[in-house]
Structure 1
Amino acid sequence: MGELYRDGQGVTADPTTAYMWFTIGAKMGTPESENALETMKPKCTQAQRQMAESRANTWIAGHARAMEQKPGHFDYQDWTLVERGPLPSRAPSTPDERAYAILLTHNIEKDPLSLDASAARAWLDKWWEEVPDILVRPCNLIDAPDHESYEYGVDLYNQVTYSEGVFILENPAKTTDWNAAFLAGMNGALRAYESILKQKPNARSTFLDNLLQQRASGSLAETTARLVKERCK
């Protein structure tokens, strides 16, 4: 991952993110990452290095299993598990885990562009994938009908699932009320969109702006139900 962000291979070159991934690799004992860090140090400011190291520590705190891997054969690549068999069964979710999932979701609704947001999403993705006793249904409710590209579309797509999950966690008697859950997911994504606009006023989406208008007029529930019927399995 560090090479991709360092060299801009398929992604926008980002030395801070590259330094973060090389820091993680170095802490896992990968010589290539250690060498890359030494090469990058003179090219990054102290602030960039400190930011990257902080983000690396946050990622590591949420991915203890990744740090158990040995150089040359890793289970983790980015935030996706590869080269492994079926997930081992795990115990049902704990109250602390559920509370943490709710906390992280609210945090990234309020500040989806924060330095900690990527690590929070990684933890939530892994937890929702593995937890055996609670089900969420991902659905792309925020994609424009004409598939107009939006810079933060993937983050908002994921936010729908996270905020849907919070509804389910906070309303255990309504775990099969999918219309209500998807509406909660849509509202969570729109809150995150509004948070993005506070930091980047030009990062607007015509489709999402229209959804905000529907929320204000009271018609968002109807629109969400229609989109769910069209798009969600």
Structure 2
Amino acid sequence: MSAIAPLDTVRSVATPEGCELRLRVAGPVVRARAFLIDAVIRFLIFVAAVVVLQYFGNLGQGLVLLTYFVLGWLYNIAFEALNHGATPGKRLCQLTVLHDDGTPVSWDAAFIRNTLRFVDAMPIGYAFGLIAMGFNAASKRLGDLSAGTVVVYRTDAAPSAIVDDYAEAEPPPFSPTPSERHALIEYRRRSATLTPERAEELAELALPLTEGLSPEQGRLKLFRIANYLMGRTVSVNPGADQESTRADRSP
């Protein structure tokens, strides 16, 4: 019997640095749960505002209407754009909104996907949105399709530990940019999850660091540079295998 496909799929996104992100797409059930949590939060805020503002007469009535507008239209947009793609409900459900390429959601995209929410809600019970989610592998509602966004599970887990004992280190021949440093360190940390062929293929792309080297030599050179960027040093004696870290060196 064939295995049943999971409701929440995994999609791979290649970054400009040559790394591969694996994003676990969120299905309609967990997204509905996050929506209900946000709905409860907004309702409680609105009730509290009504209770407080009723004592301010006409001004209070105007502020109640303003509160209703903010909670109805700006709540999702502001949280997604300012809070790493997550409203309180999404954060409690470990969800986040990203662009299709895995980058953080922007103000424009957050505005588009939430402005079109009323279309997804038609004619009743988010019927159009659920139909759209059922017809694409990324579980996108119409707002996501228009904005180029996807809702995925958050990846707040600690970076993978380095499981090999390759301890040599060397400084890079030039000062890498922050994105280059991140790519090298991620390559080092994820090396255990890559096949040797894939690791060597990625190493060949890291020009000019690996120019003129064989794929295996290039892979090891990237390992050494990444080790250095993570604070590792080796003994001055070329034949020594002992390693120390900058943090552990005696003053």
TM-score by length of structure 2 reads 0.22
Q: Which has the larger radius of gyration?
A: 2
| Bigger helix fraction | 1
| Bigger strand fraction | 2
